[in-house]
């Protein structure tokens, strides 16, 4: 897979490195608090073949063979050029991260993209792009596919097609000395400062529900929006935010890497998928490729490598309905 990085990716890697500089050493059994981690839930990436910095380097993709049935579903022009363009957001493991060289992109998203490319007999030409820019760029036709742990929502389905490959969602973390135990109702956040990434389902969820605090006669919560994932954890550590809302798998990983931070709970689950321009002819081939990876065992090997077995799905689907949010 070829990768072309944009200016600023080195800074992103540096910010994350600063956050995890005092990281705990990963072990095969690393994970969340047993009292708050449900059976089968994900924890830290497996230690087998881990590189310096704690990220696993086990090769789970090179043995993937071409899936002829899936490849036949590709549009003729894509088969002819033998590649697809891939816009990738690099945020935080286990979804995506840089190896210590600051250039090599790894993670759940990278492994699934590489495995699907091999199954389809194509080269994935990756460009690292800011999270907020990917979906609009897909709509304009600049890229064929996007990855960035994109949750499937009704709003996004209006303009984007998805091919699902995992199930992740929204989770919370706080400093260890916080009185919060679990956020099951957003009114528990009233009066607090919540750190999120820009353009995410986390930002949308919080903004759409801000009125709940007033209805409950409480002071509204403040949404602190950051463009880089490292910055949200820095804001928490420095006391500028009280709570972080991020991906379930990302939060579970982050709390194994930082001192004085605790995982609170999963708030809601969302299907996550490859993103495409609406009406793309690529979706059936990608769906067949993902389901082929499930059949040959590659799918489970990727999940085990990154410690996210709790995020497995039964079958890949094209733009399924959004999983309903909690009623509270």
pLDDT digits (tens, 9 = 90+) for 187-210: 999 999 999 999 898 999 999 999
Q: CB of 163 within 8 A of CB of 320? A: no
Give exposure, 147-167, as e/b (b: 16+ Cβ within 10 Å). bbbbbbbeebeeebbbbbbbb
Residue of 197, 137, 175, 145 lying closest to 12 (CA atoms): 197
pLDDT at 312: 97
Parts of the chain with a pLDDT under 70 = 1-53, 328
3-state secondary structure at position 161: strand
pLDDT at 228: 87
DSSP, res 140: T
pLDDT (tens digit, 9 = 90+) per residue, 278-313?
A: 999 999 999 999 999 999 999 999 999 999 999 999
How far, in Å, CA of 313 to CA of 228, rounded? 28
Bond into 94 cis (ω within 30): yes
In the numeric block, the tokens 């389809």 are attached to 120
pTM of this structure: 0.83
pLDDT at 282: 98
């Amino acid at each position: 897979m070829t990768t072309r990085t944009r200016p600023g990716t080195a800074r992103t890697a540096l910010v994350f490195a600063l956050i995890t500089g005092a990281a705990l050493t990963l072990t095969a059994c690393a994970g969340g608090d047993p009292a708050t981690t449900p059976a089968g839930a994900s924890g830290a990436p497996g230690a087998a073949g881990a590189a310096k910095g704690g990220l696993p380097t086990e090769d789970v993709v090179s043995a993937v063979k071409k899936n002829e049935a899936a490849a036949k579903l590709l549009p003729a022009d894509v088969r002819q050029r033998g590649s697809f363009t891939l816009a990738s957001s690099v945020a935080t493991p286990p979804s995506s991260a840089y190896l210590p060289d600051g250039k090599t992109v790894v993670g759940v998203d990278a492994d699934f993209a590489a495995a699907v490319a091999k199954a389809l007999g194509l080269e994935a030409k990756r460009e690292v792009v800011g999270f907020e820019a990917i979906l609009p760029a897909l709509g304009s036709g600049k890229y064929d596919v996007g990855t960035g742990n994109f949750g499937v929502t009704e709003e996004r389905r209006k303009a984007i097609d998805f091919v699902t490959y995992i199930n992740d969602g929204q989770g919370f973390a706080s400093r260890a000395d916080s009185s919060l135990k679990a956020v099951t109702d957003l009114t528990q956040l009233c009066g607090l400062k919540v750190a999120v990434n820009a353009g995410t389902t986390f930002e949308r969820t919080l903004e759409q529900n801000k009125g709940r605090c007033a209805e409950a006669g409480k002071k509204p919560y403040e949404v602190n929006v950051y463009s880089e994932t490292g910055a949200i954890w820095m804001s928490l550590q420095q006391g500028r935010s009280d709570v972080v809302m991020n991906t379930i798998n990302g939060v579970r990983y982050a709390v194994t890497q930082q001192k004085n931070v605790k995982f609170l709970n999963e708030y809601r689950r969302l299907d996550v998928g490859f993103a495409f321009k609406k009406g793309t002819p690529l979706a059936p081939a990608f769906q067949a490729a993902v389901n082929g990876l499930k059949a040959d065992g590659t799918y489970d090997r990727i999940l085990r490598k990154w410690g996210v077995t709790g995020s497995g799905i039964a079958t890949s689907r094209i733009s399924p309905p959004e999983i309903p949010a909690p009623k509270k």
